[in-house]
Each structure stands twice: as C-alpha cells, then as structure tokens.
A and B are shown apart, each in its own frame.
Chain A
C-alpha cells in the first residue's frame, strides 16, 4: 500500500484475470491431478523397478489405490463445482462463452506456428483465452470424461457388465492407462512450457495480470476491456430473478451429481474381502496303511519232546542270543544237553517242575527279547511238567 502511495504513477495497471474461487479450484485440480498421476502411473507399469519403489513409498498397492480413489473423488467434486459455475455464468450472467473453440483458434494456431517458422509477419492477436489455453482446457475436459467413465467401469465392474460385455472392463483399463499417459505428457510438454518456461505466468496464483502482459498475450481482450465490452452488466433486478431460478435448479443438479459420485464410490462391493478357501482343499494328513512287517512262520504242530519240536521252538525263539557261539549268560539252547545244563545262574529247566523253572518264570514276567507267545509258553510249561523229555 505504501508503495502504491509513494509511486502511484509507475504502478502498472492490474487486471483481474481469475476470481479467487477459480484459483482455489485450480490449486485443488493441481493437487488431485498430480496425486492421480503419481499413484496411477506406477499401477500402469507394475513390473518396473521405479513403479515398485513408488508404490512402496505410498505404503503398498492397497494404500496407493486408496489415495488414488480419494484424489479421484476430489476431481469429481471439482468437476461438479465447475459445471455449476459455468451454469451460473451462462444462465445468470449471460457471460460470453470465451472458452468455446472457434475456427479462429485454428487460424491462430496455424499463424503462430508459421510465424515461429519464419513465414509470418506477426503473432496472432488473441482474446481472453489463447488457442493454447483452449487446447489445454478442452484436453482436460476430454481427459476427465474418459478417466471418469473408464474409472467408473473399473471401480464398479459388476454393475458395468450387467449392461455391457465383460471385455469393456479391460478396455476401460487400457483407456484409463492410455489417457493418463497422454494427460501427464501433455501437462509436462504443453502446460509446463506455456505457463512456466516461456514466461512464468503467475496469474493463476495472484489472480492479476499487468497491462503489459495483457497487451502481449490477450490484446483483443484488453481492447474489449478498454471499450467496456468485456463485462456484460446485468441489471440488478434481472440478476435477482435469474438467481431465483438458477439456485434451486443448481441445488437439485448438485444433489443429483453428488448422489452420482456417492454411487460411483460406494455403489459396489465388487469382491468379498475375506480370503477364500482353496477350492480343492482335502485333508492334509491322510496316512496310508503301512505295509505289514513280515513275521516269523507260525509254530508248526509239535509233539512235546525236544526232538519233536520243542528244541526247534527254543532255537527259533532263544537261539538268536542263546546259541553255542553267542551263549549269552553262558546259556545255550543249541542242544538238549545245553538246554538242561542252564547258564551262569544254574539250571533254567527243572524237569517236572514247570512253575519252578527259571525259564518259565522269566518268560511269564514278559518283555524278554525272545518272548514266547502265550501258546508257546503253555507248550513249554507242559513239556517241563512232563519231565522235559528229549525224545
């Protein structure tokens, strides 16, 4: 303020270019577009290292998708705001549709390009929005429509394929990815050059443009302003009447569109959230019946004499340890004589006294290495009781 007072003459005249609401909308668009690009492009190239690193940075793919969806929600709300704002300008204020593309824009573009190549005398003189700005605006509109529709299809695939073939879902994914790449590249090439590199155009942040800037970039608009054609004054009574019609209509429209966004975002539980069981699951531990282990041959029919089979039984059951070579406990059952001789602790067989024979006592106790079956034990007992005959 003091500057203005001290040097009022040098202060260049400023023209308002963007209303504060437009600037806020732009800032929100900047945030949502950038977020969408940063969280979306790595999903288009998931196999690359940089994509993996970016998704990790955002906290994993689920979180990345959540952020992407939030940013998409902001963009949808911005779109609703923009539609209502345009409605106000057209129906209430009857503003000129300065953003509409016209044949003149094509001519301006060609003239500008020819001039750059050295085939023209001068740059085209342009109005409120240059052909570059219109191109960018309509590219954004086109992109938002494509991204919105394809995004809806991917977000709500079940509802989509009730009306359309299933193939539309991967097609939507392809379009979403292609359009995203186009949008990001266009912003980098066109927007960065047009408003940052060529000349740093701050008007989207300050809202103002100096007379000199206006003269260079929007001379036709400047002329309109100077002669009072730029702004159409609406008589206050008429303005009030138009508003009285527009506000309720806009309210209903806004409610309908917000409902649409709500449906977009919450309309479908596409998949169950729990981990499904594996369809082919069978019990894990199902052991096979083990192969039977071969057992010794059944005891043959024997008579109760050593030679008649008792000797063979003893050799089969006891001979592993108590044979003439191993003679464990100095006991051997290799022959009738050895058997009756006994071992280190004396006789094991007391002919005629089965229950008193240490052999029977030991076998009855059970758990012996060469253990008789009950039948064999009974036979041995009867043999001893019968006097343990050799023949």
Chain B
C-alpha cells in the first residue's frame, strides 16, 4: 500500500510538516508502524517543535469537521514561545501523533476534539486534574452537558502564560484580572454583574488586588456548585475571610465585626449552627449574599442599591417576610454592636443584666455562704437548730 493510498483512506488528517528530511519521515513512519501493529509500546515521535511548526505555523491551516466547523490547526509560534509550555515538545501532549501522516481524527465537532484531548493535561497536572473530578463542571460533563468547562476551556495550552509566581506559588497580579475574563467566556451574564459590582469594578477598573476574584469564593479546579444548601450555609465564612481581616478592611474603613454581629443575630445563629451540625441543611435564613447580592454586591451606602437606604433593606426583608412593615428592618441591627447611641434600648437592656445578674446572684451566694458557715459552726458546737 502506497503512502498516497493511505492518505486517500484517511482523509481527515491533521497534517504536520517537515522532518529534517524526507528520508527521516519515511524511516520514522516505517519503523513505528510495524511496532504498533505488533503490540509493542509506541515510541513518541522524537521531533522538535520547529518540525511541527513548519506546517502548523502557517496562518489559516485548518481542517474541516464533519459537522461543518473548521478546526484551526495553526499555532502562533510567538504566543506559544511565551506560554508556560514553551519548553514542552508538541508531542509531549499530542502523544497520538507518532508519525506523519497523522492518525485519523475521530471527532464530529470541535467540541469533541477538545473532549478527546483534554485528559492529556493529566500527564503533568495530575493534582489539578484530580481536583477537577470533584468540580461542578466535571459533574455537569458527566451528566451529559458537553458545554461544561474542561481544562482547555480555561487554559489554552498553546497560549497560556504562567498564572502563579514560580517561587511563591502565589497568584500573579495580572492573573487576578485575567480570571474573571476567563470565566466570562461561559458566564458572561455573571461577569457583567461582577464587573459593575464594588468588587469587580475595583479589580477590573482599578487593578485593586484586595478584592476577590472569582476563584477566591468559588475555588479553582474543584469549583463547587454554589447553589447547594451546603455552599449556602458555609458562605458567611467565605465573605468573612476578607471582611474580618483588619489589615484589608482598615484601608476602606469597613468594620470587621460583620461576622460576629451576624452570628449574634437570630439568622446568623441559625446558619452558624447549621454549618456546624448539619452542613447540608436547606434553609431560607439569610446569608450575606441574600441581602448584599451575589455578584452584584454594591457599597451599603450606594445611593441606588445600598442597604442603608431603608427601602432597599425593607425590600430585602420582604423577600422572606412579605408582611413586614416599615418598622421591621430596624429589628435587624445592621451589623452594629449596640451602644448608647446606636440601638440604645438593646444596649441598656444588656447593661441592666450586666449589673443585675452579678448583683442578685452575688448577693445570693454571699447569703448562702454565710448560712453554710453558721450551720457548720453550730454543728461543731452541737447546737442543732436555733
């Protein structure tokens, strides 16, 4: 069978180009194929990237897919050489490319090509890959939703630049900005909300690195479904990671007592106990985002959306308490610790018991001790009763 016939029977070939000489191509092809046929392990094709780029560096190189889409086969050498993978050989990932011509591509669509290929990332990124197995994306994929994100949807392997500092493992500043834009590829409506929020506008508009980017709340690789009951009851601890951090909050004049004042309230008490005792408890007791919003969080003193605007707070209350009247929102102390000026009734009730309990109980204890002492003395003296 001639090479020409081979290519005739395998019309869907992703072509790669030149080996140093035609003889080497022929030699490699003929050496490798019989070995594969006899069941021996296939040796990866030992070629350098310039060989592949001879063909794949050409702009517009593409391959028609059966569903009518066009698979771009062009790799921009400039981008690739700046990527995290610049030191890798093409064949490190494209392990099925063992010879020229390449094996037939058995995929109907561009999506199928990605789905067939992405597990190759495991070779080097096993830890991250294993984490993705626990993610909401992977569960959606397993449930048949092929739109669910896989490695290559977030990390184009041919252009992905390093996201973390090689020395510290910390996320690079530019990566924090890059992340929402990556998630936006599929979650654009959420991204638009985030971009307009107090957090998103600070990150994207000002490059502020104190504000959370997507992964600070959702995690990375093992991204969990944020609509579950357990995510909900855990969420106050997510927000409080930053909002109880004095070093961050002082810069913006935001009080750090938001968590303890929430936990001290009926709603927060309940949610905290659920989180401790039954993390999967379904509840409509509000968590931070029920009042403050999820991705659309605004300043509390925002003149339009802020919760310090009474009507906004009342609207938030009424989502669960439809019969609430205008007095009702002040039953929630708005994260204030009661003082003589803020929520004075509560403050003075607490003060009363601070004084009253020690006084009463202390008085009782003094009397009881005196009675014990007297009766011990009398018993020693042999006096039975007065």
* B-binding residues in A (CB < 8 A): 43, 46-47, 52, 55-56, 60-61, 109, 112-113, 115-118, 122-123, 154, 157-158, 161-162, 164-171, 173-175, 177-179, 181-182, 185-186, 189-190, 193, 198, 216, 269-276, 278-288, 290, 293-297, 320-321, 325-331, 343-345, 362, 365-371
Contacts and interface: CB of A to CB of B under 8 A. Distances in A.
Nearest to B25: A326
B174 interface: no
Contact of B320 (A161, A162, A271): A271
Interface string B235-272: 00000000000000000000000000001011001101
B340 interface: no
A182 B345 contact: no
A187 to B, nearest CB: 10
Given A116-B371, A371-B64, 9 more contacts: A43-B269, A46-B263, A60-B281, A170-B331, A178-B353, A198-B371, A273-B284, A328-B100, A370-B15
A161 B277 contact: no
A330 B4 contact: yes
B370 to A, nearest CB: 4
Interface residues of A, dominant DSSP: loop
28 contacts: A55-B277, A56-B277, A60-B277, A113-B367, A117-B370, A165-B327, A166-B327, A167-B333, A174-B338, A178-B356, A182-B353, A198-B371, A216-B385, A271-B320, A276-B284, A279-B319, A280-B295, A280-B296, A282-B190, A285-B147, A321-B17, A329-B3, A329-B5, A331-B4, A344-B3, A345-B4, A369-B14, A369-B15
Contacts of B289: 278
B42 interface: no
B353 A293 contact: no
B382 interface: no
Contacts of A286: 186-190
A185 B346 contact: no
Given A162-B327, A166-B331, A174-B353, A60 B278 contact: yes
Given A166-B331, A174-B350, A362-B8, A189 B368 contact: yes
Interface string B359-376: 011001101101111110
B7 A369 contact: yes
Nearest to B330: A166
A182 B13 CA distance: 84
B94 interface: no
B118 interface: no
Nearest to A52: B276
Interface stretch (B54-62, B85-93, B198-206): B54-62
B22 A182 contact: no
B367 A161 contact: no
Interface residues of B, number: 100
A161 B325 CA distance: 8
A299 B276 CA distance: 68
B219 interface: no
Contact of B357 (A112, A165, A185): A185
Contact of B368 (A190, A270, A288, A326): A190
Contacts of B64: 367, 371
A278 B343 contact: no
A46 B365 contact: no
Contact of B18 (A198, A272, A325, A331): A325
B339 interface: no
A178 B346 CA distance: 11
B385 to A, nearest CB: 5
A276 B360 contact: no
B327 A178 contact: no
Q: Which interface residue of A198, A326, A370 has the most chain B CB atoms within 10 A?
A: A326
A60 B293 CA distance: 28
A28 B120 CA distance: 71
B59 A61 contact: no
Interface of B: 2-8, 11-15, 17-18, 21-22, 25, 55, 58-64, 70, 72, 74, 100-101, 147, 184-190, 192-193, 263, 265-266, 269-270, 272-274, 276-278, 281-284, 289-290, 293-296, 316, 319-325, 327-333, 338, 343, 345-346, 349-350, 352-353, 356-357, 360-361, 364-365, 367-368, 370-375, 385-386
A141 to B, nearest CB: 15
Contact of B4 (A123, A177, A329, A370): A329
A249 to B, nearest CB: 36
Nearest to A284: B187
Contact of A320 (B8, B61, B270, B277): B61
A295 B277 contact: no
Nearest to A161: B327
Nearest to B55: A320
Nearest to A174: B349
B179 to A, nearest CB: 15
Contacts of A290: 185
Contact of B101 (A164, A173, A288, A321): A321
B263 A328 contact: no
Given A168-B345, A276-B319, A61 B296 contact: no
A165 B346 CA distance: 12
